[in-house]
Amino acid sequence: MAEEQKTVQTVEQSTGLSPDEENRMRERRELLQKIGSGVFASLLMSPLMATPIKEALTAPDTTQKLTSLPEVPEGQPDEDPIIRMVRDLKRALQKPMEERKWSMVIDLRKCVGCHACTVGCIAENKLPPGVVYRPVLEEEIGTFPHVARRFIPRPCMQCEEPPCTTVCPVNATWKRKDGIVEIDYDQCIGCRYCITACPYSARTFDTGHYYTEDAPSQPAGYLGSADARVYETAPNYDYGQERPRVDEQSPIGNARKCHFCVHRLEKGMLPECVVTCIGRATFFGDANDPESLVSELIPQPNVMRLKEEMGTKPKVHYLM
Amino acid sequence: MVHEKQYWKQVFWMATILAFGFGLLGFFDRMANGHLHADYGSYVPWGLWVAGYIYLIGLSAGAFLMSALVYVFRIEAFEKIGRLALLTALATLIGALLCIWFDLGHMGRAWRLVARTNFGSVMGWMAWLYGSYFVLLLFEFRFATRAELTAHHSVRTTSPLVQKLVGFDPTQPEAHPVEKDLKVLRILGSVGIPLAIAFHGSVGAIFGSVGARPYWNSGLTPIIFLVGAATSGGALLALVTAVFGIRTQREQDRRIVYLIGRLVLVLLAMDVLLEWSEMSIGLWSSLPSESESIRLVLFGHFWWVFWFVHVGFGILVPGLLLLFKPRSLTAVALAGLLITVTFISVRLNIVIPALAVPELEGLRYAFTGPGLKFDYFPSLMEWQLFLFTISLSAMVFLAGIQWLPVVDYSVENPGSEGGK
């Protein structure tokens, strides 16, 4: 990246150009910078995303794990916000857990309703039919011909005052020190009281369905339901625990919800919905860190939170 | 008389066995496939079984409160139906607990309700309250039937364990501890009244305390639950007393049913008043978050459940019967039957409409999948399993009146004869 800039500067110095040509050159340079940032981002994200998740879970001490992460460069002009958020994340993970405050900001002006976050989340967490952590709500405003559409991704709000935890009769769900609301699948009895108590419908019930249900089976060599189910029964890593999908075993029969991809966070990776967002509309980081991107965005005057009047203090903010 | 009772017992046994057989299919489905064939899911997470549970637990609380009239307040007019009320409370409690047990995502973890209780949750208290209530009912039933059981000749020759269970002391075979037992019953009943109010009020509070659901979130909800419990439990007791509990030829016995009928009429009127208050305030407030659920009840897809099943056959017909035919055994029994059976619609109309209104606009179509919908109608498996629990309750009840001294057909000295 720095080399690219140096090369551009050398070309400029060695040629006497007219102002028009200089402008064109500047535009080209800016374009190159953007492309450079994008290429770097993709180069960086590949190893980050390809790191085996299971490996991440075996090392609970996050400060030690960070030493194995690729180095994140210092801030560059026009860099991809993902680079900055990874840097924010790394900084946050070096603090004690109770000093972090994971927060999300979703820029509704940038969301195009592609549902990539929903699908990415389903793939990352191996969600079965009937369970969704981050649907995108669609609103149609106005009447023809003056119609507008608005898309509102809705992850778990990770409320400061979560109404879903207090109702649990067996203490199976609680707010962690870093603010993420966690469910202990082995403790949960599946009464679903928490689902009724959530004002955002952010919790869903895993009834034990498979996408491959009733799919035709095929002889060996073809992809039939049996082969396809291998993917569905592969373990997920909600809350950092490896859980292959086995009939009657948790998380089947449990309430489930978004957890800001806590298993990824602990390895220094951003939540899946953040990295799959094609419009860079979702931002994530530590709101307790004044240098973080989310800390810059949250105090904006055009920020709102869902059902603020309920006093649940969601940690998901929307930019209008 | 005896032939008539035998006839009704046979009819009820037949119906119960049929329901059990049909319900068994649902039981096997639930055991084999878990929640796969249920219609509830993520957006409407509670369905028929939760409604069935609050229905049955209401019947139990109501019947128990009626028994308190005998054992705590010693109202002589009801003396003959004390044990019948206790047995009704016990049988319906068993059905209610089974119903909610089948509803759990992990039935094998139900014990954690006691071992890892969160007393900050209303639901956390329930296992303790039900546990206490269940034990109390067993003890009360034991003391209420001890005199008759120990007097029975077969008890004198049975195993020591059974003798101990029924309270027979072989060293004092002629002792009749009726008075002593009545004192114990009074104490147990006195503990039981606040317990019954606590546990059924708490069932109401489970719903009433959910701030996310404006339709439930009201201080009136626990009170409505209690009055509903007394109404439906009283109605059930009117029915079973008329059918099994009395000698229908005796005017004195029939008066018991008439009295229960009057009590039920008053309770029904109170229930209607509370329901009117809750619904009219919700509608007049015009806040869509609450009024939408009420509109769903009144004019939604299942409007007929409210207007025909509940208002028509659950309030108007039984209300008119109790008002204009208060001294007709058939009319009171029929009113009891109608109120009891249709009260499940009241419970369904509490549980479902609050959940059937999306909490966020656009959620209905945001993502699809099993359970990600706001339209709920119980599946065949859900109906079958509900019927299964009802039939088990009925079996406990019928076995009780068949083989235990529950019903007293004696003329002069209530409590001296077995009920077989």
Distance of CA A257 to the CA centre of its chain: 13
Measure A74 CA to nearest chain B CA, in Å.
39
Contact assignment for B118 to A169 by CB distance below 8 Å: yes
Asked if pLDDT for residue B405 goes beyond 80, the answer is yes
- B201-210, pLDDT tens digit by residue? 999 999 999 9
Residue B392, domain member (yes or no)? yes
Cβ atoms A143, A135 nearer than 8 A? no
Chain A residues in contact with B33 by the CB 8 A cut-off are 208
Instruction: Give the pLDDT mean for A108-114.
Output: 95
Residue B264, domain member (yes or no)? no
Residue B201, domain member (yes or no)? yes
What does the pLDDT read at residue A55? 34
What does the pLDDT read at residue A69? 60
A 142-171 residues inside an 8 A Cβ radius of B: 152, 154, 163, 166-171
User: Does the CA dihedral B101-B107-B113-B118 come out positive or negative?
Assistant: negative
Of the candidates A194, A117, A111, the one whose C-alpha atom is nearest the C-alpha of residue A149 is A111
The residue of A170, A209, A316 whose CB has the most chain B CBs within 10 angstroms, and thus the best one to mutate to test that interface, is A170
Instruction: Give the pLDDT mean for B158-167.
Output: 69
User: With bands split at pLDDT 50, 70 and 90, how would you rate the model's confidence at B153?
Assistant: low
Q: What is the CATH number of the domain that holds B193?
A: 1.20.1630
What does the pLDDT read at residue A13? 44
Residue B377, domain member (yes or no)? no
When mean pLDDT is compared across A19-28, A182-191, B105-114, the lowest value belongs to: A19-28
Q: Which residue has the higher pLDDT, B67 or B173?
A: B67
Asked if pLDDT for residue A54 goes beyond 80, the answer is no
Contact assignment for B121 to A167 by CB distance below 8 Å: yes
The rounded percent of chain B whose pLDDT value lies above 70 is: 90
What does the pLDDT read at residue A47? 36
Residue B268, domain member (yes or no)? no
What does the pLDDT read at residue B161? 72
Residue B291, domain member (yes or no)? no
Contact assignment for A129 to B43 by CB distance below 8 Å: no
Residue B285, domain member (yes or no)? no
Average pLDDT, chain B: 89
Asked if pLDDT for residue A248 goes beyond 70, the answer is yes
- B233-249, pLDDT tens digit by residue? 999 999 999 998 888 77
Q: State the Cα–Cα distance between residues B347 and A206, nearest whole angstrom.
A: 25
Contact assignment for B211 to A196 by CB distance below 8 Å: no
Contact assignment for A192 to B211 by CB distance below 8 Å: no
Considering CB atoms only, which of A129, A154, A208 is closest to B34?
A: A208
What does the pLDDT read at residue A306? 96
Structurally, chain B folds into a number of domains equal to: 1
Nearest CA in chain A to B113: A170
Q: State the Cα–Cα distance between residues A184 and A239, nearest whole angstrom.
A: 8
Contact assignment for A188 to B105 by CB distance below 8 Å: yes
Considering CB atoms only, which of B105, B209, B366 is closest to A135?
A: B366
Instruction: Give the pLDDT mean for B390-406.
Output: 92
CA angle A208–B45–A233, rounded 5-degree value: 15
ipTM score: 0.91
Domain interval for residue B156:
7-257+387-403
Instruction: Give the pLDDT mean for A253-276.
Output: 96
Which pair of tokens denotes residue A191?
């009464």
Nearest CA in chain B to A311: B211
User: With bands split at pLDDT 50, 70 and 90, how would you rate the model's confidence at A60?
Assistant: very low
The residue of B97, B112, B368 whose CB has the most chain A CBs within 10 angstroms, and thus the best one to mutate to test that interface, is B112
Residue B138, domain member (yes or no)? yes
Asked if pLDDT for residue B334 goes beyond 60, the answer is yes
Chain A / chain B CB contacts < 8 angstroms: 163
